[in-house]
Amino acid sequence: MIPDLAALQALGAAQQPTYPDPQAVDTAVAKLRGFPPLVFAGECDELKDKIAAVGRGESFLLAGGDCAEVFSQVNADNVRNKLRVLLQMAVVLTYAGSLPVVKMGRLAGQYAKPRSSDTETRDGVTLPAYRGDAVNGFEFTEESRIPDPQRLVEVYHASAATLNLIRAFTNGGYADLRQVHTWNTDFVRESPFAQRYEQMANEIEKALEFMQAIGADPDEFHRVDFYSSHEALVLPYEHAMTRIDSRTNDPYNVSGHFLWIGERTRQLDGAHIEYFKHLSNPIGCKVGPSATPDDVLGLANALNPKNEEGRLTLITRFGAGKIRDVLPPLVEKVRAEGVNVTWVTDPMHGNTFEASTGFKTRRFTDVLDEVQGFFDVHRALGTVPGGMMVEMTGDDVTEIVGGGEEIDEHGLAHRYESVVDPRLNRVQSLELAFLVAEMLRR
Ligand code: PEP
Ligand code: MN
């Protein structure tokens, strides 16, 4: 039995909003409990099986999307652009690895953010920190920063609209493989590194022509499976969106297919771990550089006591300079104990710094190097580098320095739109896919 919300919160939940009006929280939670599911338990099971295959090295997981979605960007252009880039990346990775790619968005629910500080100070004024559109407003005014539980209801509607659009796009012809490949060849033609990427694009072209010549036209050429994921952070929302599956009597979080626990809320005796223990979804846990091999074993025992394949994904985020030292002892311990986990790299969160111009940024080369380190470590140990989770967008923003367009610290000001962490733009995301493809194919 899943504990009720009050019992969970009594365990001490990190990173929760302090709502001024508890009754308004109850009202929002009651509304949410009555809403229909956004995803189905059967889809979550299907994803769990696919992640199990990722863990065995039979597939690769690509997860991407905003650090923080915002309500004002729930529109067709934004969602379509993000989906398009993810599909483009997936085609390149699929070809290079000769493996199916499991496609997952950090979207349709990624609205709540843990923060390292409770407050933010600008020009001598201190206000509560922005915790994502699920909690308060980004605008730097006292009123906007007050947590409002009605926003949780808005998260539901924004997620429903996003997921509806994604389902329509992925099943309604937009994900057609030939079309996605045409977008990739356009990208390669315009890239300053055209020569480096051309060979792969040409090989894909030849493979598609061959398939056409022999009359092969499987359903997979015209539609894709796409899954949603987010950090399950704000417990009143996540708990309200947890339902008992009528087939199995097991609880599922039906607000997203895959949920993860953040680096700041993974305390073994905390409310988030307790909540996640009861979910039947495939789940993830972020693991940062302070984690010891015993911490990781503790997480696996708590979150996956039956040692099921596909149940638990560890998403490591160490930083390019640390991964080659920090990851091996964790992987070795997990392997020695026979514990099933799927290893995924998050090459973003260990590589954040403040640019001289004041923007929070990352270097493209560091992101790439952390992915390379992830492959190097797993290849050396004979274990499986299962996938990557990146913060990206389909738009031409300037939030990360480097990449073929050579955005420098001054260029960041040109179009910096992220409300929390910097994202790879369209071109940087595609470059990353082509470069990771080279790692996958050796
Ligand atoms: C995130 O994924 O946006 C995030 C906050 O990550 P972490 O919990 O690893 O810091
Ligand atoms: Mn982030």
pTM of the model: 0.98
- CATH code of 416's domain: 3.20.20.70
Is the CB of 422 inside a 6 Å radius of any atom of ligand 1? Answer: no
For residue 82, what pLDDT is reported?
Answer: 98
Candidates 67, 299, 352: which one to mutate for ligand 1, based on the most atoms within 8 Å of Cβ? 67
Q: Three-state DSSP class for 102?
A: strand
Say if residues 41 and 248 touch (Cβ distance below 8 Å).
yes
Pairing of strands 101-106, 226-231: parallel
Separation of alpha carbons 21 and 147, rounded Å = 9
For 377-393, the pLDDT digits (tens) are 999 999 999 999 999 99
Q: Determine the Cα–Cα distance for residues 384 and 282; give it in Å rounded to an integer.
A: 18
8 Å CB contact between 389 and 315: yes
Q: Is 67 in the pocket of ligand 1 (CB under 6 A)?
A: yes
Say if ligand 1 is within 6 A of residue 317 CB: yes
Q: Which of 272, 349, 360 to mutate to test the pocket of ligand 1 (most atoms within 8 A of CB)?
A: 349
Residue 26 lies in a domain: no
Span from the CA of 46 to the centroid of ligand 2 (angstroms): 27
Which ligand has the shortest distance to the CA of 112? 1
Ligand nearest to the CA of 399: 2
Whether 3 is covered by a domain: the verdict is no
- CA of 249 from ligand 2 middle (Å) equals 34
**Ligand 1: does its nearest atom lie under 6 Å from the Cβ of 52?**
no
Is ipTM strictly over 0.90?
A: yes
In a domain, 124, yes or no: no
CA gap 221, 224 in Å, rounded: 8
What is the structure's pLDDT at 192? 86
User: Atom of ligand 1 at shortest distance to CA of 317?
Assistant: 9
| Ligand nearest to C-alpha 346 | 1
Q: pLDDT value at position 440?
A: 94
Q: Which residues pair with 179 in a beta bridge?
A: none
Q: In this structure, is residue 400 part of a structural domain? A: yes
For ligand 1, atom 3, the nearest C-alpha belongs to 67
- Name the residue among 67, 74, 63 with its Cα closest to residue 131: 67
- Integer CA distances (angstroms), 376 to 221, 327, 362, in order: 32, 10, 21
- Domain membership of residue 227 as a residue range: 32-114+151-175+223-441
Pocket of ligand 1 contains residue 106 by CB under 6 Å: no
Query: Does residue 216 belong to any structural domain of this protein?
Result: no
Query: Domain for residue 381, yes or no?
Result: yes
Ligand 1 atom 1: residue of nearest CA:
67
Tell how far the Cα of 292 is from the centroid of ligand 1, in angstroms: 18
Tell me whether residue 140 is in a domain. no
Q: How far is CA 331 from CA 44, 130, 265, 372, in A?
A: 26, 35, 22, 16
Ligand closest in space to the Cα of 319: 1
Q: How far, in Å, from the CA of 199 to the mean position of ligand 1?
A: 35
What is the per-residue pLDDT for 442?
67
Does the beta carbon of 349 sit less than 6 angstroms from any atom of ligand 1? yes
DSSP structure class, residue 376: H
Residue in the block written with tokens 């694009």: 201
What pLDDT does 173 receive?
Answer: 87
Which ligand number lies closest to the CA of residue 289? 1
Which residues, in sequence order, are bridge partners of residue 343? 314
Q: Is 426 in the pocket of ligand 1 (CB under 6 A)?
A: no
Q: Is residue 184 part of a domain?
A: no
What is the full per-residue pLDDT of the chain (442 aa) written as tens digits?
899 999 999 999 999 999 999 999 999 999 999 999 999 999 999 999 999 999 999 999 999 999 999 999 999 999 999 999 999 999 999 999 999 999 999 999 999 999 999 999 999 999 999 999 999 999 999 999 999 999 999 999 999 999 999 999 999 889 999 999 999 999 999 998 888 899 999 999 999 999 999 999 999 899 999 999 999 999 999 999 999 999 999 999 999 999 999 999 999 999 999 999 999 999 999 999 999 999 999 999 999 999 999 999 999 999 999 999 999 999 999 999 999 999 999 999 999 999 999 999 999 999 999 999 999 999 999 999 999 999 999 999 999 999 988 999 999 999 999 999 999 999 999 999 999 999 998 6
Say which residue the tokens 């994803």 belong to: 47
Tally of domains within the chain: 1
Strands 360-361 and 101-106: unpaired
Nearest alpha-carbon partner for 224 in 179, 163, 169, 182? 169
